[in-house]
Amino acid sequence: MPSRIFKVAFVGLAAFTAMLMLAEPQSAQAQKGIFKNKLKAGESAPPAAEKALSADESAFFEKKIRPVLVEKCYSCHTAETPKGAKGGLVLDTKAGMLKGGEAGPAVTAGNGKKSPIIKAMKGDELNPMPPKEKLSADVIADFEKWIAMGAPDPRTGKAGSTSKPIDINKGKEHWAFQAVKSPEVPKLKTPDSLPSSARPTPVDAFILETLADKNLTPAAPADKATLLRRMYFDLIGLPPTPDQLDTFLKDTSAKAVERVIDELLAAPQFGERWGRHWLDVARYAESSGKETNIVYPFAWRYRDYVIGAFNKDKPYDQFLKEQLAGDLLPSKNDTEKAEHLIATGYLALGAKSHNERNARQFQLDVADEQIDAFSQGMLGITISCARCHDHKFDPIPTKDYYAIAGIFTSTETKYGTARTVGSIQAAPLVELPANADVPVGAMLTKAEVEKLKTRQTDLKKQREDAIEAGKKDMQPNIRLLGITAQLSTVEKQLGYYDADGNPKKMAMGVSDRTFGRDMPVYTRGELSKPGETAPRGFAQVIAPAAPKIKTGSGRLELAEWVASPANPLTARVYVNRIWGHLLGRGLVASADNFGTAGQKPTHPELLDYLAGQLMKKDWSTKSLIKELMLSQTYQQASTHNETNAATDPDNEYLWRMSKRRLDAEAIRDAMLAVSGELDKVAPTGSPLQKLEGPTQQIGRFGGLGNFNENAKRSVYLPILRDLAPEALDHFDFPDASLVGGHRDDTSVPSQALYLMNNASVMKLAEKGAEKLIAKYLSPTERIEAAFKLAFGRGASKTEAKAAEQFLAKMQKSGTKAAWSALLQALYGTAEFRYLD
């Protein structure tokens, strides 16, 4: 059946979609120049004209590239090298790297294979670099990815130029490091005759004042069908049903919109939608990534904690405290204690190189990843850029970095992996209170546990035999390594159960070590070069909000500092994230970087007003979302205006609603919903929960299976680093190793090919066709229902006629095949994938 549907669907996408575009010029327009195409990271790109770096490009360079250059290259390749840069190659500036040395340019932007720096790193040349060590495969892969991106590089200045000492007091003058202000709401001349529901909100007052200053005219309100679809996808990530659409269109009361907002905010799907936004920021995944990619069987607990927190509208300041120091917070009972412990999974689930042989180096790398996650995710600054040197842009000296690093190296990170081949750095899990009201997840049965115990006994016997054989032959027994690794994995799994085979309640998380210890400042980040001690503390540039560290690691004090109302960054960063999810881009476009290398806010007074509102309303996410959605700014149409576009082509000042492409999860979930196949019941646990070890090894023996072929919401799909589900990967699913406050929006041929050829998409179209045929008798009713399901609106006369003509041509392939092709054609349109 799939092959026959493929032929019909191909005609559907090629012919029927063309009919739709002729019938609906505005939909066709949405497929043209309104949306800028960008290359995905990893695809070759020719060198382009000099342009500003995106936030993602800058973050990638600062996190992945600059530290390696500083630590491994600058000692020989700067103009300040005592005997001159070796080979004439200067690597401490962009210009120097592109110019190259005696052998020519070090980097060929967009082409890693032709870039000498990659060949040298791999040891392919006569003079491999660095000369006395081989870089890890991960580092080389990062450089290859960076070059494929076009080698984005923010560095300026002359080669070998030295940085000036950081002036903390001067740095505090930057807008983001100043206290949140309480701006006056602009006064607008609004006719008293207008009903209160039609008057501008305080949010609109700020927007309209700026529009007036720029001589820009706001768009008219969006039509009700468009607005309803927008609200549904923004709040729960699913399309409205035809019945929900009809009900809303009939409701002419002034409270119609507010009623829908309240219903959706109270729906369990709200947490699934908005929890996924935070999981991007929290770099959530169920494996370690890196060279061995070890499975994390209990990462799902953190995912469920986040979804639950958004559904309960947990105050955002409390939400942050629990993730940074939940194990140190007071609890009313065992269930709350378990919740707090699970929350600290935030610090444990980051990417790790489990095969790092040096335990101290591994510890520092884990701390660095944690610093990067919380500083970008919660504060919108890149503190980890100061690991090897003073921050190049922000007033953060290296000493401040190590003051914070001491907090995390005084913390034990419990991610739960066994010590096996390829996974030297093992760790336990957090055991939750036995009486806590939390699920155990997809655990083994008692019978399966007994089989595991038998396996343990057998492996122990094999190990003894291998040891004796090794003694007898006087040679190392290679087989012993494999047996030991298998035994370690089995014993790790058995540790999840008590003596009677009952499952324990386990989670990833952290706890304080026995003693808190300050760290030395490592010169250039090198473990072999310790310098002065940096007492545990915080970034001085926002230190007024910082408490003193008294005992323990200092994580509790760190959490209080981050979540303090006096911290100038926390509330601003969060309201900016909320604004970005609802309006398409943040008031600060660089959502994860509020530092001097980030972008300035388009509406600074509005940003501070919203930050103040968040704190006044007990850090309530739902209250802020509702306030924004009730504004005229959110409810306006996306209608294009040539005059406005000439002044503000990127719609920075919000003279209309920007068209937005649905993210990967919403596209997949929408197809499931339209087909009638979506299973809204949240699963318990994760399919990965019964697995242990490297994903490559598990996959080799068929253990991974196809976990993505299910009808659950996409937020519940197993997420392995570097192995994202195909349905998500095609539509800019984020790199789970990085903080992701804003997703890319690319348009590439593989997206259309996926919607056209993928067997799962064809199957959903077929299931949807079956339901249309069963529920509606006449083709006219089916066409109307199909359009309402897919687009949140009825079909126009021209569209209905085009659909009838298409179905008549396809009828020779069978009724179900024809309707399947029609639905698949709708899935492939821009209108299905975009919000007006």
| pLDDT at residue 102, rounded to an integer | 63
Residue 521 lies in a domain: yes
Residue 816 lies in a domain: yes
Percent of the chain clearing pLDDT 70 (strictly above): 88
707 and 804 assigned to the same domain:
no
| pLDDT at residue 701, rounded to an integer | 56
Beta partners for residue 413, in sequence order:
510
Tell whether the model's pLDDT for residue 67 goes beyond 60: yes
Helices (H), 149-253: 168-171, 202-213, 224-236, 242-250
Cα→Cα distances 506→286, 299, 482, Å: 15, 10, 27
φ, ψ (nearest 5 deg) of residue 736: -75, 0
Strand pairing report for 509-512 and 411-414 = antiparallel
349 and 382 assigned to the same domain:
yes
Tell whether the model's pLDDT for residue 457 goes beyond 50: yes
307 and 382 assigned to the same domain:
yes
Q: Which residue has the higher pLDDT, 190 or 482?
A: 482
Nearest by Cα to 349 from 303, 312, 311, 309: 303
Tell whether the model's pLDDT for residue 83 goes beyond 70: no
Residue 153 lies in a domain: no
Residue 233 lies in a domain: no
539 and 687 assigned to the same domain:
yes
Residue 670 lies in a domain: no
| Residue type at position 308 | G
Average pLDDT of the residues in 610-625: 98
106 and 28 assigned to the same domain:
no
336 and 404 assigned to the same domain:
yes
Tell me which H or E stretch contains 506.
Answer: strand 506-507
Question: How many structural domains is the chain composed of?
Answer: 5
Tell whether the model's pLDDT for residue 767 goes beyond 80: yes
Does this model's pTM top 0.85? yes
Beta partners for residue 119, in sequence order:
none
Contact between 416 and 429 (Cβ < 8 Å): yes
Strand pairing report for 660-661 and 834-835 = antiparallel
- Confidence category of residue 122, pLDDT binned at 50, 70, 90: confident
Choosing from 616, 636, 661, the residue where a domain stops is 661
Q: What is the pLDDT of residues 526-555, one digit of tens each?
A: 898 999 999 999 999 987 667 788 789 999
Cα→Cα distances 313→248, 266, 271, 384, 716, Å: 26, 10, 9, 30, 20
425 and 559 assigned to the same domain:
yes
Residue 728 lies in a domain: yes
79 and 114 assigned to the same domain:
yes
In angstroms, the CA 304 to CA 275 distance is 9
Choosing from 599, 632, 661, the residue where a domain stops is 661
- Confidence category of residue 676, pLDDT binned at 50, 70, 90: very high
Q: What is the 3-state secondary structure (H, E, C) of 758-816?
A: CHHHHHHHHHHHHHHHHHCCCHHHHHHHHHHHHHCCCCCHHHHHHHHHHHHHHHHHCHH
Nearest by Cα to 730 from 742, 716, 747, 717: 747
97 and 177 assigned to the same domain:
no
Q: What is the pLDDT of residues 170-216, one digit of tens each?
A: 999 999 999 999 999 999 887 776 777 778 999 999 999 999 999 99
Neighbours of 463 (CB within 10 A): 17
Q: Which domain holds residue 122?
A: 55-148
DSSP assignment of 77-93? SSTTSTT--GGG---SS
Residue 418 lies in a domain: yes
451 and 496 assigned to the same domain:
yes
Cα→Cα distances 426→296, 356, 415, 489, 562, Å: 12, 11, 8, 11, 30
Beta partners for residue 104, in sequence order:
101
In angstroms, the CA 88 to CA 738 distance is 35
Choosing from 629, 661, 693, the residue where a domain stops is 661
* 499 burial via Cβ count (<10 Å: 0-12, 13-18, 19+): exposed
Residue 44 lies in a domain: no
In angstroms, the CA 86 to CA 90 distance is 8
DSSP assignment of 731-767? TT---TTS--SS------HHHHHHHHH-HHHHHHHHH
Tell whether the model's pLDDT for residue 31 goes beyond 50: no
529 and 617 assigned to the same domain:
no
734 and 763 assigned to the same domain:
no
In angstroms, the CA 215 to CA 647 distance is 9
* 184 burial via Cβ count (<10 Å: 0-12, 13-18, 19+): exposed
Nearest by Cα to 638 from 47, 55, 210, 227: 227
